[in-house]
Amino acid sequence: MTGVHLREITDENRDAVCALRVRKHQRKFVASVSCSLEDAADEPEENPWYRAVYSGEEPVGFVMVSLPDSDGRFYLWRLLIDKRHQGRGIGREVLAQIVDTVRSEGGSELFTSYEPGKGAPGPFYRKFGFEPTGEIDDGEIVLKLSLR
C-alpha cells in the first residue's frame, strides 16, 4: 500500500490524531489515542514508542509499541485505524512498518494481545502471521510473531 507512513506526534498534529475514532463496538478492544498518550507518559519503564499513521497528508491511525517492555518483550501495545479508513490494508501496512522498526532495534519476536469477542482483531493478526502463545494475560489472548 503506497503513501502509508508513520509520523511523530507534535503540537501541530496532536489534536487531529486524538480525534481519530474506531467504531462503537470496537471501543472495548483499544484505548483512545489520548488515553494511550497518557499511558505512555505514565509508564516510561515500558519504553513506549508511538507514531501517528498517515495516508498521504491525512492522519488515519495510531500505533504504540514497547521497544521493549519491562519484561524485555517487544510488544505491540496499541493499534487503531480510524473507522473511515479501515478495511483498506492500512493496518497490515502499519504492522509491516512496525516489524521493520522492531528488527532495527534488534528484536526477533513481536508480541501483542487482544480481548476476545465479536469483531476482535484476532483474525487480522493471524493473517499477518501472529500465533497464540497459549498465554492469557489479564483476560487477553497473547500472540507472538517470529521475525527470524
Ligand X SMILES: CC(C)(COP(=O)(O)OP(=O)(O)OC[C@H]1O[C@@H](n2cnc3c(N)ncnc32)[C@H](O)[C@@H]1OP(=O)(O)O)[C@@H](O)C(=O)NCCC(=O)NCCS
Backbone angles phi, psi at 105, to 5 degrees: -90, 5
28 to 24, 68, 120, 133, 138: CA distances (angstroms): 8, 25, 9, 22, 14
Q: Which of 13, 32, 47, 86 binds ligand X (CB under 6 A)?
A: 86
With CB under 6 A as the contact rule, the residue among 39, 88, 101, 129 that binds ligand X is: 88
Nearer to ligand X, 11 or 85 (CB): 85
Q: Smallest distance, Å, CB 79 to ligand X? A: 5
Q: Does 81 bind ligand X (CB under 6 A)?
A: yes
Within 10 angstroms of residue 25's Cβ, the number of other Cβ atoms is 10
Q: Which SS3 state, helix, strand or coil, does residue 14 take?
A: helix
Select 48 or 121, whichever has its Cβ closest to ligand X: 121
* Binders in 40-79 for ligand X, by CB under 6 A: 79
139 binds ligand X (CB under 6 A): no
Cis status, amide bond into 68, omega within 30 of 0: yes
Fill in the per-residue mask, 116 to 135: x = in contact with ligand X (CB under 6 A), - = not in contact.
Answer: ---x-x-xx--x--------
**Under rule CB under 6 A, residue 99 binds ligand X:** no
SS3 per-residue string spanning 69-125: CCCCCCEEEEEEECHHHCCCCHHHHHHHHHHHHHHHCCCCEEEEEECCCCCCCHHHH
Residues of this chain that bind ligand X (CB under 6 A): 22, 26, 29-30, 79-81, 86-92, 114, 119, 121, 123-124, 127
